[in-house]
Chains A and B, each alone.
Chain A
Amino acid sequence: MEKTKRNYRDTLTIAWRCLLLSCRNPETFLTSILLPALMMLLFVSLFGSLIHVGGTSYTAYIVPGVLIQCAAQGSSTTAIMINQDITSGIMSRFATLPIRRRTLLSGHVLEAYGRSLVTSAVVLLIALLMGFRPALSLPGLGISFLLLSGMILALSWLSATVGILSKSAQGASSLSSLAIILPYLSSGFVPAEHLPPLLRTFARYQPMTPVIDSMRAALAGAPTDAGTLAAALIWCAFLTVVFYPVSVLAMQKRLSR
């Protein structure tokens, strides 16, 4: 019991440290506050009049996609931070402290989660300013929040693994930027039916599509398709459950090299 409490406290300490680092890094500020706002603005003003989606405004249509894309962007910051922590020797220093090594990673992920929530708030604020009006139903908002959280955590643990396995920060950044492309290959910005056949198939089976579709329905106050929602939740849980232990193992291995 005492040990668990201590682990939580260590996680919070590391998260606090990462948050301080993020706040003082102008690049991180740019990618987590300014870029998301710009993306929302640009997409709507560039493609808003070109792409017609049935039954809703383009702004409302892309909100979930932009949210997920920003989460991916935010998690790539985490990949870079974790990689820098390892190459700079800070991880080695922390590893000889009387703490569990996995708390080092969960601290990073916790900070990524908090940072991505701030980013999401920025996106929502801009969307609201652009006329987005989500349905104010508690279950709808709850489901959206749950799915967004699940996706952020799944992407963060994936990025943690990428950050640990990459040789350099550049490597970590380029690998994790693949996750930023994924939302384009989903139903996030263009209805999947409009994609070329090969991409359409990819979009149908990749994790972001069910998450985005469910969020979109939930935010619009429409009934969410149970099958899609289940697929979305299973994807988030699956990715987290896989990449959490993988990243912990990878770190043990990397630090003892």
Chain B
Amino acid sequence: MEKTDVSIFVSSLKKSYKDKEILKDVTFSVPTGTIYALLGSNGAGKTTTIRILTTQIRPDGGTAHIQGFDVAKEPEKVHRVISLTGQFSALDESLTGMENLLIMGRLHHLSAPEKSAVRLLEYFDLSASSSRRVSSWSGGMKRKLDIAMSLVGSPSVLFLDEPTTGLDPQSRLAMWQIVRRLRDGGMTVLLTTQYLEEAEQLADQIGILHRGRILAQGTPSQLKSLLPQGAVRFTFRDQEDLRCAAFLLGKWQTSSHPAECALTVFTDGRADTLRELFRHLREGHISVRKFSELSPSLEDVFLTMIKEEKSYGKNKAKL
């Protein structure tokens, strides 16, 4: 492992709670000075991964290194280089912005906590409200302060657990801007998100976490080529037609739902492709009872892909 090039190195991480396996096999690495997004739905294991990497809980198996320090064996050293902004704002609402930052500065044993606080308030454009109690601030401002508090002590690796969940669109854009600026300043950022768009906008690398595994990983454009751009659903008269259709449309990725006599076909989203599909069905003399276009959410697509993986041995989701 190159200490200088890779900031976060995670290898086959496992974690179970009672008999529930939260993390089955999580492996990824994040180059220094880049943004890595862990993308996944609720319960995929995002927060558990973050909690292991920030030394809050110990993994049952596997290893994780931050800047070369083992999170399980050298938590104190890890604490010196990381910082965490959790899913929910962790700040004191009845203190002012300045006081919140001062306390963080003192706990980091800075020689001049006041200076650092003033600088961070300026950086996040919060100076004007710094002496007002945080309880009177807007959600976006609170989130900014939350991040500012994480930056006290100049960490080299920043963990952001769902940084924009619950923010209005404008604050979300501002947050993206902030995260990019931090990356451009040389910081390594690991963030988790449920939103495909956010991962696409921000991340240099995306890892798709599903049920405790990294299903796919790559740059946004690499992943995009993996993801079907569109999906349509045909409903047929009987099982016979369904089977025929599945066979005829074999060059596309499909998933059949025999109970409803329906077939989902993943396409590249172009209209010409639709014409192709209909042409194949017409040539096979299969009549379509119902047709609908689906806008595949990440969740749907991946659930389908996993099913595909099992039933047909197609393994398109893996890089």
Question: Which residues does A use to contact B, with CB under 8 Å?
Answer: 6, 9-10, 13-14, 16-17, 20-21, 24-25, 88-90, 92-99, 255-257
Q: Which of B54, B76, B86 contacts A89 (CB 8 A)?
A: B86
Question: Which residues does B use to contact A, with CB under 8 Å?
Answer: 54-58, 76, 79-80, 82-84, 86-92, 94-95, 99, 103-104, 106-109, 133, 149, 153
By the criterion CB–CB under 8 Å, are B58 and A98 in contact? no
By the criterion CB–CB under 8 Å, are A90 and B82 in contact? no
By the criterion CB–CB under 8 Å, are A98 and B76 in contact? yes
Supply 29 A–B pairs (Cβ within 8 Å), ascending by A. Answer: A10-B106, A10-B107, A13-B103, A13-B106, A13-B107, A16-B103, A17-B99, A21-B92, A24-B94, A88-B88, A89-B90, A90-B90, A92-B84, A92-B90, A93-B84, A93-B86, A94-B107, A96-B84, A97-B79, A97-B104, A97-B107, A97-B108, A98-B79, A98-B108, A99-B107, A255-B56, A256-B56, A256-B57, A256-B58
Residues from chain A with Cβ under 8 Å of B133 in the complex: 24
Q: Which of B83, B92, B95, B99 contacts A96 (CB 8 A)?
A: B83
By the criterion CB–CB under 8 Å, are A21 and B94 in contact? yes
- Which residue of chain B lies nearest to A256 when distances are taken between CB atoms in the complex? B57
How far is the CB of A115 from the nearest CB of chain B, in Å?
Answer: 15
- Which residue of chain A lies nearest to B85 when distances are taken between CB atoms in the complex? A93
By the criterion CB–CB under 8 Å, are B92 and A90 in contact? yes
Residues from chain A with Cβ under 8 Å of B91 in the complex: 90
Q: Which of A9, A20, A89, A95 contacts B99 (CB 8 A)?
A: A20
Residues from chain A with Cβ under 8 Å of B108 in the complex: 97-98
Given contacts A20-B94, A97-B107, 19 further A-B contacts (CB under 8 A): A10-B106, A13-B103, A13-B107, A16-B103, A17-B103, A20-B95, A88-B90, A92-B90, A93-B84, A94-B107, A95-B56, A96-B54, A96-B82, A97-B79, A98-B76, A98-B153, A255-B56, A256-B57, A256-B58
Compute how far the CA of A256 lies from the CA of B227 in the bound complex, rounded to whole angstroms.
36
How far is the CB of A68 from the nearest CB of chain B, in Å?
Answer: 29
By the criterion CB–CB under 8 Å, are B94 and A96 in contact? no
How far is the CB of A170 from the nearest CB of chain B, in Å?
Answer: 19
Compute how far the CA of A149 lies from the CA of B108 in the bound complex, rounded to whole angstroms.
31
Residues from chain B with Cβ under 8 Å of A88 in the complex: 88, 90
Counting from the closest, the 9 A-B pairs by CB-CB distance are A89-B90, A93-B90, A13-B106, A24-B94, A98-B79, A90-B90, A89-B86, A256-B57, A97-B107
Compute how far the CA of A7 lies from the CA of B113 in the bound complex, rounded to whole angstroms.
17
Q: Which of B56, B84, B89, B109 contacts A98 (CB 8 A)?
A: B109
How far is the CB of A233 from the nearest CB of chain B, in Å?
Answer: 34
Residues from chain A with Cβ under 8 Å of B103 in the complex: 13, 16-17
Compute how far the CA of A63 lies from the CA of B112 in the bound complex, rounded to whole angstroms.
46
- Which residue of chain B lies nearest to A104 when distances are taken between CB atoms in the complex? B107
Residues from chain A with Cβ under 8 Å of B83 in the complex: 96
- Which residue of chain A lies nearest to B161 when distances are taken between CB atoms in the complex? A89
How far is the CB of B2 from the nearest CB of chain A, in Å?
Answer: 25
Residues from chain B with Cβ under 8 Å of A90 in the complex: 90-92
Compute how far the CA of A88 lies from the CA of B83 in the bound complex, rounded to whole angstroms.
17
Compute how far the CA of A25 lies from the CA of B86 in the bound complex, rounded to whole angstroms.
25
By the criterion CB–CB under 8 Å, are A17 and B95 in contact? yes
How far is the CB of A208 from the nearest CB of chain B, in Å?
Answer: 33
Compute how far the CA of A16 lies from the CA of B91 in the bound complex, rounded to whole angstroms.
15
Q: Which of A88, A93, A257 has the most CB of B within 10 A?
A: A93
How far is the CB of A188 from the nearest CB of chain B, in Å?
Answer: 34
Residues from chain B with Cβ under 8 Å of A21 in the complex: 92, 94-95
By the criterion CB–CB under 8 Å, are A92 and B86 in contact? yes
- Which residue of chain B lies nearest to A95 when distances are taken between CB atoms in the complex? B56
Compute how far the CA of A237 lies from the CA of B79 in the bound complex, rounded to whole angstroms.
34
Compute how far the CA of A13 lies from the CA of B92 in the bound complex, rounded to whole angstroms.
14
By the criterion CB–CB under 8 Å, are B55 and A96 in contact? yes
Residues from chain A with Cβ under 8 Å of B82 in the complex: 96
How far is the CB of A83 from the nearest CB of chain B, in Å?
Answer: 15
By the criterion CB–CB under 8 Å, are A93 and B149 in contact? yes
- Which residue of chain B lies nearest to A24 when distances are taken between CB atoms in the complex? B94
How far is the CB of B134 from the nearest CB of chain A, in Å?
Answer: 11
How far is the CB of A88 from the nearest CB of chain B, in Å?
Answer: 6
Compute how far the CA of A9 lies from the CA of B109 in the bound complex, rounded to whole angstroms.
9
Residues from chain A with Cβ under 8 Å of B55 in the complex: 96
Compute how far the CA of A97 lies from the CA of B76 in the bound complex, rounded to whole angstroms.
9
Residues from chain B with Cβ under 8 Å of A96 in the complex: 54-56, 79, 82-84
- Which residue of chain A lies nearest to B149 when distances are taken between CB atoms in the complex? A93
Q: Which of A9, A17, A25 has the most CB of B within 10 A?
A: A17
Compute how far the CA of A59 lies from the CA of B126 in the bound complex, rounded to whole angstroms.
53
How far is the CB of B117 from the nearest CB of chain A, in Å?
Answer: 14
